[in-house]
């Protein structure tokens, strides 16, 4: 081998060694740069999964809030209560007895909101659980509760010893408790724990 070949071979080897060193250095730089990116990508992936789980959970909760509870067949659900609107006519006591058989009470109107959101849609007159208790000298609901101040104005001029029905044109009417008309039973909706 002549000197020229030896020098060329040495230079070639030296050049390839430098390339390997540069490659190793360059590879190390790439690895060191990609480590933060890998970490960031991992964090973003985890955050995406958490966000998707949160959206799914909120969606399920919203659907559940729309279906707050369950009512028996042929009952109407409204704002956490179930209402049975009768097709039969009975006097006040007969209506009360039928509601008790259905594990409910005659309609007890608890707020103006209840009147405005559901009961103003009625197409006939229906017994409520409201009657004038002669011994207590006050208007009371079937369950013994006093009529709220909010609704007291509705019956203030009614005579004692009467029962109250409600319906057409958002009106309360008093009559003898032996009068026969339709009636509405009310019970709380059955709530499910999910």
Q: Which fold has domain 70-191?
A: Mannose-Binding Protein A; Chain A (3.10.100)
pLDDT digits (tens, 9 = 90+) for 74-98: 998 888 889 999 999 999 999 999 9
8 Å CB contact between 127 and 163: yes
**pLDDT the model gives residue 40:** 86
pLDDT per position in the chain (194 positions), as tens? Answer: 555 554 555 555 555 555 555 555 555 555 556 878 888 888 988 988 988 888 888 777 665 555 556 888 999 888 888 999 999 999 999 999 999 999 999 999 888 787 777 677 778 889 999 888 777 777 888 888 888 777 766 666 666 668 888 877 667 888 889 999 999 999 988 765 54
- C-alpha 23/C-alpha 31 separation (Å) is 12
**pLDDT the model gives residue 194:** 46
- C-alpha 9/C-alpha 14 separation (Å) is 8
Tell me the DSSP string of 8-53.
HHHHHHHHHHHHHHHHHHHHHHHHHHHHHHHHHHHHHHHHHHHHHH
Domain residue ranges in the chain:
1-66, 70-191
- C-alpha 119/C-alpha 121 separation (Å) is 5
8 Å CB contact between 105 and 186: yes
Give the CA angle between residues 146, 152, 153 to the nearest 5°.
170
Neighbours of 163 (CB within 10 A): 26
Look at residue 170 and give its three-state secondary structure.
helix
Alpha-helix runs per DSSP H in 67-120: 92-101, 112-117
**pLDDT the model gives residue 153:** 66
**pLDDT the model gives residue 116:** 74
Give the CA angle between residues 77, 81, 82 to the nearest 5°.
55
**pLDDT the model gives residue 57:** 80
């Amino acid at each position: 081998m002549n000197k020229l070949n030896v020098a060329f071979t040495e230079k070639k080897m030296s050049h390839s060694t430098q390339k390997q060193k540069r490659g190793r250095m360059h590879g190390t730089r790439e690895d060191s740069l990609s480590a933060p990116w890998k970490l960031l990508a991992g964090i973003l992936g985890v955050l995406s999964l958490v966000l998707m789980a949160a959206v799914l959970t909120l969606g399920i909760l919203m659907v559940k809030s729309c279906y707050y509870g369950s009512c028996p067949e042929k009952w109407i659900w409204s704002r956490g209560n179930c209402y049975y609107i009768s097709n039969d006519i009975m006097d006040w006591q007969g209506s009360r007895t039928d509601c008790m058989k259905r594990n409910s009470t005659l309609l007890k109107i608890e707020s103006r909101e209840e009147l405005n959101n559901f009961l103003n849609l009625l197409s006939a007159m229906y017994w409520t659980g409201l009657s004038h208790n002669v011994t207590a000298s006050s208007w009371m609901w079937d369950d013994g509760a006093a009529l709220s101040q909010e609704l007291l104005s509705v019956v203030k001029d009614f005579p004692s010893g009467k029962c109250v029905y409600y319906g057409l044109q958002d009106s309360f009417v008093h009559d003898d408790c032996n009068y026969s008309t339709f009636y509405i039973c009310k019970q709380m909706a059955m709530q499910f724990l999910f």
